[in-house]
Amino acid sequence: MPIELPPAFAFSQTSLQDFADCPRRFQLRYLLAQSYPSPLAEPLADLERSLARGERFHRLMERYWRGIQPAEPVDPLIADLWATFRANPPADVPQAFRRPEFSLSVKPAWARGARLTAKYDLLAYDLDGEALIIDWKTSERPSRAALERRLQTVLYPLLLVEASPRLFGAPLPPERVRLLYWFGESDGATELFAYNSARYVADQERVGALLARLRALEVDEFPLTADLRHCRHCQYRALCEREEAASTFEVDDPDAFPDLEELREVIAAAAAQDDFVL
C-alpha cells in the first residue's frame, strides 16, 4: 500500500533531511506521529540551555532586523552572542527590504504535487533583484562540505527562486541569490553560498529524486539507516533498539550533530503531544 501524507503536509528542510538521513525516522515522525522518550542528547540541561540560547537569540535578531534595538543589558544567556553580532555583523546585507522570520511555501511542477516550505531567519533584497538569505547559527560550526550537503543549503535558495515570480513580481535569476550562514559560537564567522543556474537545476533534480523515492515506498518499507551517526541524537533509539548509539551533548563531530534549529522544530512539533519527553 502506498504511503499517505498528512493533509496539507509541506516538506521542510527538516523533514526532507530526516528522510535523507533515515527513512524510518521520517516514517515515525511524520507518518505515524510517534512519540518516544529517548532524550535527544544528555545531559538534558546542556541541550536545554543551548536550545534556549538559540531561541532567544533568534527572537532578538527578529526584533533587531525589524528595527527594535534591544534594551541593554541584554539577556545574560545570550549576551556573548549579542556582543559577537555587534562586533561581527554580516556584511553587505541588501537594504531595500529586510524581512526577518519570513516563510514561504510553493508547489513547483517538478515536485509533482508536493508542497515545499522554507522559513528564513532573514531575507533581504534590493530592487535590482539581489537577494540574501541569512541563517543564524548558534550551534557548533560544521565543515563547509557538510553544510553544502545539508538540505537547508539546497532548499532555501531553490524555493526562493521558485517563489520569486509571486514574491518579486518577476522570476529571480539564481545568480542573484546568496545564502549566508552566520556562526555566533565562532566569533561571527560566515559561510556564503552563491547560487547559480546549474545548481538550481541540480537541486530540483535532487529534491525531486528524494520525493520520488519517498512516494515509491510502501507503508511497511521504511528502512532503518545504516549510518549509526544519525541514531546518536535521535529520540527513536530505544524503539529501533539502537540505544548503544546514544551520545552525550558534547559535540565531538559538528558535521554529524543535528542543527539546533532542526531540533527546536522537532521539539515544537512534538510539544503538542502529551507524552513526549525531551
Contact set with ligand SF4 (CB under 6 A)? 22, 24-25, 28, 224-225, 230-231, 234, 236-237, 240, 242
Pairing of strands 177-183, 131-137: parallel
Distance in Å, CB of 45 to ligand SF4, minimum: 23
Comparison of 20 and 131: residue with beta carbon closer to ligand SF4: 20
Helix (H, G, I), strand (E, B) or coil at 7: coil
Comparison of 74 and 224: residue with beta carbon closer to ligand SF4: 224
Distance in Å, CB of 264 to ligand SF4, minimum: 18
DSSP 2: B
Of 32, 16, 74, 39, residue with least CA distance to 235: 39
The DSSP element (H or E) to which 104 belongs, if any, is: strand 97-106
Comparison of 40 and 172: residue with beta carbon closer to ligand SF4: 40
Comparison of 72 and 275: residue with beta carbon closer to ligand SF4: 275
User: Which position has the grid cell 534590493?
Assistant: 126
Grid coordinates belonging to 273: 503531544
| Contact between residue 104 and residue 117 where contact means Cβ atoms under 8 Å apart | yes
Comparison of 22 and 123: residue with beta carbon closer to ligand SF4: 22
Comparison of 28 and 270: residue with beta carbon closer to ligand SF4: 28
| Contact between residue 130 and residue 94 where contact means Cβ atoms under 8 Å apart | yes
Distance in Å, CB of 256 to ligand SF4, minimum: 11
Distance in Å, CB of 192 to ligand SF4, minimum: 31
3-state helix, strand, coil in the chain (%, to 5): 45, 15, 40
Distance in Å, CB of 244 to ligand SF4, minimum: 11
Would you say how long the chain is, in residues?
Answer: 278
Report d(CA 170, CA 176) in Å as an integer. 13
Distance in Å, CB of 227 to ligand SF4, minimum: 8
